[in-house]
Structures are given as C-alpha cells and as structure tokens.
C-alpha cells in the first residue's frame, strides 16, 4: 500500500503524536485553530466539502476497508502530509468502538459575523450553550439536515470541535457555516438584519405550531439544564414551546431542535 | 437520619450488592424481571407513578440534598426494604458523573399485547431495534412527551431497562405502557385493531408532512444503521420520510422519532 510510505510513529513522546493528543483538549484546539476527525465517513465528507485538511493519520493494521485504503492513497497523492500510528497510539485518538484506521487534522473554520449575508428566506440556528458534546453534535447534524444557512454559537464554552461533538455530527460539520459571537453581537445582528428571533423555552406561551414563522428567522436554543438566559429570552421576538403530554416538563435538546427546525423548514416550503 | 437504620453493606461479595450488580446485565434482568434506577428524579417519578419498587439503596455520604433525604425517610417509613452502600460500592451502580446517593430496584412492567385496548384516537410507537441505549431512552422520553399511548418493542435485544436507557428516559419510563412482541404479532395486532402502520424510512416516497394521518396509528422506527427490516416495511400502510437538505442522508433516530411523533400529535389535535 502506498500509505505505508508515511513515516511510522510508535513512541507516545513523538511530537507528531503529542500534537494529535493536544487537539483533544480545549487549550490545544484554541491555540492552533485545528481539530481532529476520525473515520472514513468523516474524512470523505471533509474532502467532498473541501475542508482544509492539514494532515492525515493512519493505522494500516485496522484500515482493512478497500475504500478507506483508496482514500488514504488519494490523500497521499494529493500531497497531504501524514503519519502512520501504531495500533496503541491510534486507539488513544478515537472514541469509536471499532476504529476505522484513518483520521485527519483539519483547520477550524469560523466565519466572522460581519461577513454573513442574510438572504430573505434564510433560517439559522443559534445555541446559547449546550452541555453535552453529543447533543451539540446531534443538533448541528439536525440543523444541516433541516437546511439552516448557518449556526451561531453564543458561548465560548460551547465547542463544535470537541471530539465527541465532531463524532455526533456524522460528518455534517464541514458543510455548516459556523459563527462565534457574543449574545450582545447576536441580538444586534438579528435586529440590523431583521432576523426574527424564535426562542425555544418550556415557559413559552405560544405553541410552536400556532406561530406563522416569518423569514429570515433564527431558532435560539438554550442549555439542557438551565434553558436560555433572561438576557436572550428578552431579546426574542417569539418564545415558543412544544406542548407536552402529562407531567413531562422537557425533551432532549437535540429532539427539541429537530421538532422546531423541521417545522420552520416546512413552513418555509409552504406546507 | 432515619435512613441510617438501613443495614450497611461495604463488602463487594455481599449477596445484596451482587444482586444489584447482576441487574446491570441482560441475564440478571431477564432472570429476575427487575431493574435498577438511580437518582432523585427517577425515584420520585417511580413513586408518583406507583412503579413497583422492591427495595432502595443509599449512599448517605453523598445524599446531601434535603429533598433526597426526605425521600429516603419516606420510603423507609412506607416499609420499603433497603441497604446503605459504601461510597465505593454505590459508585459501581451509577452512570452519573455526580451520583445523588439514592436508587432503587424496580420490577419491570410489561403489558401483554392481548390486554391492550386500542382507542380510536390513540397513537403508538413501535421500535424494531435500536442499537444505542441512550437513543432508546431518548425515544421513550420523547414518545411520552408527545402523548403516545404505549410503546411496542419488537426485538428481544432491545431492552428499555438497560441502565443507560433508563437514565436517558429522565424518569419517564414509569408512565409508559411497554409491550414486547414479535414483528409478526405486531402486524397481526395492527391489522385486527385497524391501527395505521406508519413506517419511517429515508427510502419512503412520502413527505411526512404531506400525509394526513388517520388514527389509531403507530409509528414504526428501525435501527440507526440498518433501518427497518423488509418484513416490517412491507407490512406498513405508509412509508414516510423526512425531507433532508443537501447531501444529508439521515438524522439521529431519536430526532426522527421526535419530528414524526410531534407531527402526528399535532394532526391529532387538529392543527
């Protein structure tokens, strides 16, 4: 296999391995602006969406899938730098129960809020803060499937590039426009672009189905435990709730996002 | 504290601890028909819904919440048997990052299919098989919030009483009617009770919003990886799909369930 020509790293003190390890930490990611993806699906999607792949890492001993092998050769031919890792070192870089033997370091892509064009029929997602990395990834995946134009992240603690979040996006991170801004910048942006802010809260007085959404619109989601801050609830044009049966008081944040985003997507299409 | 009167167990070979441990395994649960819940929220919900609590276990060293302490006293006064566990033993029984120091052994409640009454406006959930315990729990929680009458489990491998599933239901397991049956029994049940079987599949030809649902109805969900079996797809009256943007091919199974169940709930209410 051609990918055997990548140098082998089997010492856990090797700086190339240490770089990979450091990207599992918030500090390592923010210092470098990089993150790690793992698995054939993720690498394929990254290539399809021209995500800026900086380098590749392989474990040829588990890269048995012919398509995965072809992918590794293709990356090497394109001149992407890379290393081979011993099985033991590769294992430390993945959350997968059955690692696929191919991963990459990718450059984070944040779009400055000022560069964002707001089309009249566009719709957006904004997350104030989501505690569970898996939930955040599922929310990003759901938003992409529902057709949002981009996702605004309003808290510095909320990181779409955490390994468990990346994994839960199922490779849908690369096509999503990501914007980081403060709650204050967000409300200014919405106001000056006439974007209707739709906040989701169990305390909302409006059934989410009863509201005719106007576009452009942004759905605002708060943390699983605390919901949205008062500051953001007050800045909302509408506060909607999903009516729940019996004594249920909440549903999962990703499920909430799905129910609301697909309702908005449907209304936009005119159902 | 009164709950101190429960006997203390600190030896990991104590049969009372071994019973608790065994309920974390499929064999232990199926042999006894019991399962374990942990955390104040779960115990409160179990009491509210008169779930058959067999016994309680505490770790007084972390049960600092006054409401939790009151709960423990209440259970003891009601004559519920119990033990205190050392911190180390208790830790082995919970998935929580911050254990709350109170849990219980509860009897599983399966309702025989033959005992099920199908009201004309009722709607149901049926899962063929769900691989992720967390997803299954979130689906059960979502179904309860959407107001389904009950959940049918069509695979022997699909176990709502797995600890990670119980945890993800957020205490909404006790109010849900659970029925276990084979795919064959399910299709017979649907036919003889005139329940419309709505299958969810990315291969469905019908947009889920375009379908006027008739009731009684059951939403049929397949596995995250393989979807529904051909046998069940063929038995469906309608196969619906959630239209997805771009090159997305799927969304999370719990999000799918949420989008479809809340659409059905809305139509039932006449929105």
State the pLDDT confidence band at A271, using cuts at 50, 70 and 90. low
From CA A142, how far away is CA A263, in angstroms rounded?
12
Are domains A2-107 and A113-269 of this chain identical in fold? Answer: no
**Any idea which architecture A2-107 has in CATH?**
2-Layer Sandwich (3.30)
Looking at the predicted structure, is the pLDDT value of residue B4 above 80? no
Quick check: helix, strand or coil at residue A119? Answer: coil
Q: What pLDDT, in 10s, does the model give residues A181-221?
A: 999 999 999 999 999 999 999 989 899 999 999 999 999 99
Q: Are A198 and A220 a contacting pair, CB within 8 Å? A: yes
| CB neighbour class for B79 (10 Å; exposed up to 12, middle 13-18, buried from 19) | exposed
Contacts of A209 in chain B (CB under 8 A): 266, 271
Domain residue ranges in chain A: 2-107, 113-269
Q: Dmax over Cα atoms in chain B, in whole Å?
A: 62
A175 token code pair: 């096509």
- The yes or no reply on domain A113-269 and CATH 3.40.1280.10 is yes
CA distance B250 to chain A (A): 8
- For testing the chain A interface, which of B121, B248, B253 should be mutated: the one with the most A CBs within 10 Å? B248
Q: What pLDDT, in 10s, does the model give residues A102-144?
A: 999 999 999 999 999 999 999 999 999 999 999 999 999 999 9
Q: Do B266 and A209 touch (CB under 8 A)?
A: yes
For chain A, list residues whose CB is within 8 angstroms of any CB belonging to chain B.
48, 134, 138, 141-142, 144-147, 170, 172, 175, 207, 209-210, 242-248, 250-252, 254-259, 262, 265-266, 271
B18 token code pair: 């071994």
CA distance A125 to chain B (A): 15
Q: Is the ipTM of this complex over 0.95?
A: no
From CA A269, how far away is CA B11, in angstroms rounded?
63
From CA A215, how far away is CA A198, in angstroms rounded?
11
- For testing the chain A interface, which of B257, B258, B260, B268 should be mutated: the one with the most A CBs within 10 Å? B258
Q: Do A262 and B257 touch (CB under 8 A)?
A: no
What does the pLDDT read at residue A5?
82
Would the pTM of this model clear 0.95, i.e. be above it? no
Q: How far is CA B124 from the centre of its chain?
A: 14
């Amino acid at each position: 296999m051609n990918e055997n020509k990548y140098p082998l790293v089997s010492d856990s003190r090797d700086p190339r391995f240490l770089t990979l390890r450091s990207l599992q930490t918030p500090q390592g990611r923010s210092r470098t602006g990089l993150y790690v993806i793992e698995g054939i699906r993720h690498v394929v999607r990254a290539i399809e969406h021209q995500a800026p792949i900086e380098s590749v890492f392989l474990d040829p001993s588990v890269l048995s899938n012919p398509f995965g092998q072809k992918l590794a050769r293709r990356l090497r031919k394109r001149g992407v730098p890379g290393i081979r890792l011993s099985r033991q070192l590769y294992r430390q870089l993945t959350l997968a129960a059955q690692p696929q033997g191919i991963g990459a370091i990718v450059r984070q892509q944040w779009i400055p809020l000022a560069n964002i064009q707001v089309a009249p029929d566009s719709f957006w997602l904004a997350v104030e803060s989501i505690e569970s990395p898996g939930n955040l990834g599922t929310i990003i995946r759901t938003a992409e499937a529902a057709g949002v134009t981009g996702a605004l992240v309003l808290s510095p603690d909320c990181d779409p590039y955490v390994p468990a979040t990346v994994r839960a996006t199922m490779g849908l991170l690369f096509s999503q426009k990501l914007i980081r801004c403060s709650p204050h910048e967000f409300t200014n942006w919405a106001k000056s672009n006439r974007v209707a802010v739709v906040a989701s809260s169990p305390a909302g007085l409006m059934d989410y189905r009863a509201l005719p959404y106007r576009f452009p619109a942004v759905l605002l989601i708060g943390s699983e435990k605390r919901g949205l801050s008062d500051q953001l609830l007050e800045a909302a044009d509408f506060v909607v709730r999903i009516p729940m049966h019996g004594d249920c008081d909440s549903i999962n944040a990703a499920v909430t996002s799905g129910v609301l985003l697909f309702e908005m997507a449907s209304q936009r299409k005119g159902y």
